[in-house]
Amino acid sequence: MPGGKRVQRVQRRTGGITSSVHAITVDDVRGRRQRVVLRRWTGGVWPDGDGDDPAVAVAREAAVLSALCDAGLPAPRLVATDPSGVAVGCPALLMTHLPGRIVLAPTDVQSWVRQLASQLLAIHHVIPNAQLPEFESWLQLDKVVVPAWTSRPDLWREAIDVAQRGHQSAHGALIHHDYQPFNVLWAASGALAGVVDWVWASEGPAAEDVTHCRLNLCLLASAEVAEDFRRAYEAEAGQTLDPWWDVASLVDYLAGWTAEGLQRQAGRRLRIDAASLDARVETLLAAAMQRL
């Protein structure tokens, strides 16, 4: 760290799957105290067994944070990188610390949802000061089949057919690509304070961001909260989103989303109701198919 002299405190942050995150308090040579965040890619994998290429992940997030440094977004600023792991022991990135905490069970759900939607639209309106990495779709629609647990197989059969026959647009706006409650920080006042984990940000379809967050809200809260988020975004954006993305995102739930993975990210902040996840997604899928 430039000007760094002594590490005073290290705090591990919970929730990461493919990387380990620590908040670090450092005194510089003039005795000034500063908090930074060290993110190390330690070889962790997603629930479906896939993992990030650590060196690529470091390079991507560094490029994105640099491109957004003057964008006015509540995002961290890049401090340093160690893409080969020479200094840290594994590929790593050092960034400024953002105040706030993750909130998964807000007291004012409607305000929480409105702010999530408003911040996402603000992200989509940003023009970065440099070219971003190319968009990479996470959809695994070729792997999905009608689930054995459903009582509505015709619904899923039709939805899978719609998703697999549709086409994805890779153009559009700046997207975060993993915008969801685990990557948003909140102040004690209830105001949205920051957005983190920019490693997969790119130019891409805004609807992908909305539907990814919508699925997460469905799994963490309810189908009703997820629909409120979509409506809030569309009302502020002044446009209706392509419902194909809704259907495709919900069908992709079958490709590897698990209650265990969600609980690992939630930690002690929220107990995931594993027994209701499938039913919540099915309710939201039925609504998406009606809109389609």
Distance CA 74, CA 71 (A): 9
pLDDT higher than threshold 60 for residue 158? yes
Q: What SS3 state is found at 6?
A: strand
Extents of the domains making up the chain? 4-96, 109-291
- CATH 3.60.21.10 corresponds to the domain 109-291: no
pLDDT the model gives residue 134? 81
In CATH terms, is domain 4-96 a member of 3.30.200.20? yes
Q: CA-based diameter of the chain, in Å?
A: 68
Return d(Cα 79, Cα 232) in angstroms, integer: 35
Read off the pLDDT of each residue in 49-57 and give the average, rounded to a whole number.
78
3-state secondary structure (DSSP) of residue 143: helix
**Mean pLDDT, to the nearest integer, of 48-70?**
86
Q: Which of 133, 138, 136 is nearest to 65 (CA)?
A: 133
> Residue 135: which pLDDT band, with cuts at 50, 70 and 90?
confident
Kindly give, in sequence order, each residue whose CB lies less than 8 Å from that of residue 87, ignoring residues fewer than 6 positions away: none
Among the residue ranges 26-30, 69-73, 152-156, 211-215, the one predicted with the least confidence is: 26-30
**212-239 mean pLDDT:** 97
How far is Cα 140 from Cα 264, in angstroms, rounded to an integer?
Answer: 22
| pLDDT single digits (tens) 242-291 | 889 999 999 999 998 999 989 988 988 999 999 999 999 999 999 999 99
User: What mean pLDDT is reported for the chain?
Assistant: 92
The model's confidence at residue 49, banded by pLDDT at 50, 70 and 90, is low
CA 285/CA 154 separation, integer angstroms? 12
pLDDT at 51 over 70: no
Give residue for tokens 């409105």.
114
Neighbours of 9 (CB within 10 A): 11
pTM, 2 dp: 0.92
Q: Quick one: pLDDT at residue 136? A: 87
Above 70 in pLDDT, residue 45?
Answer: no
Instruction: Indicate the pLDDT class of residue 31, thresholds 50, 70 and 90.
Output: confident
Are the CB atoms for 73 and 40 separated by under 8 Å?
A: no
Tokens of 238: 């002044």
The confidence score (pLDDT) of residue 48 equals 57
What confidence tier does 42 reach under pLDDT thresholds 50, 70, 90? confident
Token pair 């009703």 in the structure block, residue: 224
Residue 132: the pLDDT is 87
pLDDT at 15 over 70: no
